[in-house]
Amino acid sequence: MADKIQQLIKGLKSGNFKAIARVLSLIENESDGSEVILKGIEIKQTPVIGITGPPGAGKSTLLNAIINQLAQNFKIAVLAVDPTSPFNLGSLLGDRIRMTDQFNNGNVFIRSIATRGSLGGLSVKTIEMCDVLKAADFAYIFVETVGVGQSEIEIAGLADLTIVVLVPEAGDDIQSIKSGLMEVADVFVVNKADREGADAFSNHLKMMTHGGKNVPILKAIASQSTGVEEIISEISKSSKIKNEKRAYLLTEKAWQLIQNHRMKDLKKEKLRLEITEALKQPFNLYQFIEQFKNS
């Protein structure tokens, strides 16, 4: 087993895509050897670029357009975080649908990961999987979130540069955008900028960010690769950005890992089966929990 782990780590360092995929699977599934790998890799300072925003904003299309240009000169890794079905914990979308343009590109590695019940928009294993990719020889790592819940806060802690993608129609929800995304965006991209109201929406964003940190507001038409050069220019600056939110995220992650270690023997599937059986009788959740804890 030890020799196999060392071979995987060697393959990871050399950028072998099969080795990278195998290591990511071990980490995601908490398989034997995953902790040894995480403790044994050298985590580099590879820039992590977060892509977030509401569903339907065109995040995947924009990311595909960005990669089409960047991958001409750099090796790129993508973690695409997919929504998870609450019933079977399976991913509802996949990288095959998202980025078919990149499948035969030797400079692009893409991995879809499911949120698996995480309350935010990131998978519970996103940080560890990013660290694995940092141990390989990628120039940039992109993380695209599902854009729901507290994913914006999570991605801001993980990413060196957080790009928030919006569309002109979001103008109706501008106050909710202010309360949720204003604090975490390093770059705003108004996608589908050929639609009516794009200029007014961009100007509104500028007014809302005025007086705070200097947040670039860029317009793009991702389906036509319009405006991508300006976005890549901002991405190129990401290695010089100090992520002030990283300590917060790592504190939360350390807390989570310690909790997971202490709850290692508690299996969700076993819990579900017992609840299914208990539901055949009059059911009180809190009585059930008390009995479960003592079983």
Q: Which domain holds residue 5?
A: 1-41
pTM: 0.81
73: Cβ contacts below 8 Å, ≥ 6 apart: none
The letter for the amino acid at 139 is A
Match 């809302």 to its residue by tokens: 208
Within its chain, how far is the Cα of 205 from the centroid?
24
> Hey, which residues does 110 pair with through a beta bridge?
78
Which candidate, 77, 142, 86, 152, places its Cα nearest to that of 114? Answer: 86
Each residue's pLDDT tens digit, 230-289: 999 999 988 776 667 777 767 877 887 787 777 777 777 888 899 999 999 998 898 998
Specify whether 180 is located in the same domain as 211. yes
Specify whether 10 is located in the same domain as 115. no
Specify whether 177 is located in the same domain as 190. yes
Each residue's pLDDT tens digit, 64-94: 999 999 999 999 999 988 765 444 444 444 4
107: Cβ contacts below 8 Å, ≥ 6 apart: 71, 72, 74, 75, 76
DSSP structure class, residue 83: P
32: Cβ contacts below 8 Å, ≥ 6 apart: 1, 26
DSSP structure class, residue 250: H
DSSP structure class, residue 84: B
Specify whether 137 is located in the same domain as 260. no
